[in-house]
Every structure is written in C-alpha cells, then in structure tokens.
C-alpha cells in the first residue's frame, strides 16, 4: 500500500486536543514521505495526522491509558459509546460536569464516554491531571458543546478498524518499526521555550530534557535502520542541537498559539518539523 498524501475528503479528530496538528497539516505535507507501508504514532493525542492520512496499517500508542481506552472503544463499540454520550448531553450542566469529573469508575465504555464528555466541555479541550493522576481541568464556557459528534465518531471508527492500538511508552516503537517501509510520526510534549511554558501535567510522568534526549536517541536508532521519522517540537536551541547532532533536517513551521492566560500573548509562533529523510 502506498499512502496518498492529498485527499479530497478526510476525517477529522473526534477529540479537542491542545497542541493538535489539524491546522498545521498543510505545512507538513511537503515534508511527509510519499511512500510507506506502515504508519506509527507513539504520541497519539488527537491523532490529526493519522486521520488525515488514513493509513491502512497503523500502530497507534500513547502513555495515557484513558486516551487509549477511548480509541479502542471508538474502534470496537462506537454505537454503544454514542448512546452513552447522548445521555451525557441530556444531563449536561455545571454541577453535572463536576460530578462526572470526580467519578473515575465504571466500565471501559463508561470511562470512554466520560473522557469524551469532559473533553468536549472542559476549558479549551485541555487534558491535565494532578499529582494523583486525577483530571482537574475546569468547565469551559460553551453555549452548546458538541458532546456527541456522531458522524465524526462513526468515521473515526471506520478508519481505526485496521489499526492496532495500545498503551505504551514511546521507546517501545523500536520493537515494531524496523524498515524503510515504516513511517514514524512523533508529536511529544514540547520542550519549553520559556520558564512559564513548561506543561508537564499530561501524565504523571514528566517529559523533561532527559526524555527529549531519549526520544532523540530512539529516533536516531530508527533512522539507522531506514525507518522514515518525523518529529515536531518547539523552536528552541536545545531541540535544534539535539537533532542536528544526528543529521536530521530542521524545518520551520508557523503555528498559532491559542492557549495562554494572557490573550495578548496568543498569536503566531515558530515550531519545528524535524525529519530523518
């Protein structure tokens, strides 16, 4: 199978995701490989590039077990999930939001519906946990949140049907991507460009400079055996130096920063797309 880069129609992510790549894909296209058989995404998040490319064979992972449960339920039990989301939609209000946020129990499907409900109604679609691993994002200000996007969920289910989905640390990608037929796209937590931009609460495990170095080493090992690797990250000297040391190419991408408590600091910012090929 040869993945088609340009498509007349494509699915969109069904989750709101801070740092999602939907708006950047058109800038990525010139730097994406034209030919590959297998697609790997070890920092799945909202999966914007996956849904755009719609690869027939994909291996999707993330360290966030609740997120992975959502993708598995969308793939395998989308109609049951839609029914649960419709119930959330009917009951949605401020008190209900905080009662759902405080409840972490239930079946896999109930947890998936809870995750999507909170994602659609919380502030800016953030996923943030406290030191105990509890979701702690406040209610967003939405007049009519799209709690149950039925068409998106069904389209996502169809695209995910042939994908393998697992909770996993990014380094485990070395056990699966092994040849020039493989394309690995990495969208890790970004290295901070200032003392106030360090977002570490996506998971209880902090993605610090040592993790960035470990990711670089993993990417170098993949590239050494011919795997095509693309990594996005902040436009910082630290990240540039990391990847220039191993001969990767650095491409500047212009992104819109939409999350900042100070609205004057929202706007365009330079990011990096880093490629091995």
User: Which residue segments constitute the domains of the chain, with CATH numbers given?
Assistant: 22-63+168-275 (3.40.50.150), 68-154 (1.10.1020.10)
Residue 2: predicted pLDDT: 42
What's the first-to-final CA gap in the chain, in angstroms?
20
pLDDT by residue (tens digit) across 185-223? 999 999 998 755 554 455 556 899 999 999 999 999 999
Residue 173's CB is within 10 A of a number of other CB atoms, namely 25
pLDDT by residue (tens digit) across 165-191? 999 999 999 999 999 999 999 999 999
Residue 203: predicted pLDDT: 52
Residue 130: predicted pLDDT: 84
- Report the C-alpha gap between 240 and 212 in whole angstroms: 11
Whether 189 and 234 have beta carbons less than 8 Å apart is answered as no
- Report the C-alpha gap between 22 and 268 in whole angstroms: 15
Q: 87: number of CA atoms within 13 Å, CB side?
A: 9
Q: In the predicted model, is pLDDT for residue 12 greater than 70?
A: yes
At 24, the pLDDT band (50, 70, 90 cuts) reads very high
Residue 5: predicted pLDDT: 42
Whether 9 and 54 have beta carbons less than 8 Å apart is answered as no
Mean pLDDT of 245-259: 88
Residue 195: predicted pLDDT: 57
Q: In the predicted model, is pLDDT for residue 4 greater than 90?
A: no
Structure tokens at 60: 């999707």
Whether 102 and 138 have beta carbons less than 8 Å apart is answered as no
**Average pLDDT score over the chain:** 91
């Amino acid at each position: 199978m040869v993945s088609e880069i340009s498509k007349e129609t494509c699915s969109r992510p069904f989750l709101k995701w801070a740092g999602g790549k939907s708006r950047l894909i058109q800038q990525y296209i010139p730097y994406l490989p034209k030919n590959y058989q297998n697609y790997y995404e070890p920092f799945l998040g909202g999966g914007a590039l996956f849904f755009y490319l719609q690869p027939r064979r994909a291996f999707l992972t993330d360290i966030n077990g609740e997120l992975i449960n959502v993708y598995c339920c969308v793939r395998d039990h989308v109609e049951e999930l839609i029914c649960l989301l419709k119930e959330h939609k009917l009951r949605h209000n401020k008190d209900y939001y905080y009662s759902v946020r405080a409840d972490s129990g239930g079946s896999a499907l109930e947890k998936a519906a809870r995750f999507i409900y909170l994602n659609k109604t919380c502030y800016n679609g953030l996923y943030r946990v406290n030191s105990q691993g509890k979701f702690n994002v406040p209610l967003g200000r939405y007049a009519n949140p799209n709690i149950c996007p039925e068409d998106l969920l069904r389209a996502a289910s169809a695209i995910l049907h042939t994908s393998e989905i697992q909770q996993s640390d990014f380094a485990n990608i070395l056990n699966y991507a092994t040849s020039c037929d493989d394309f690995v796209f990495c969208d890790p937590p970004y290295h901070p460009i200032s003392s106030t931009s360090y977002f570490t609460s996506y998971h209880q495990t902090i993605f610090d400079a040592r993790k960035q170095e470990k990711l670089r080493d993993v990417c170098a090992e993949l590239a050494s055996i011919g795997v095509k690797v693309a990594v996005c990250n902040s436009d910082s000297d630290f990240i540039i130096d990391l990847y220039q040391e191993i001969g990767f190419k650095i491409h500047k991408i212009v992104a819109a920063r939409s999350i900042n408590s100070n609205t004057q600091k929202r706007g365009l910012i330079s990011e990096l797309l880093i490629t091995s090929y």
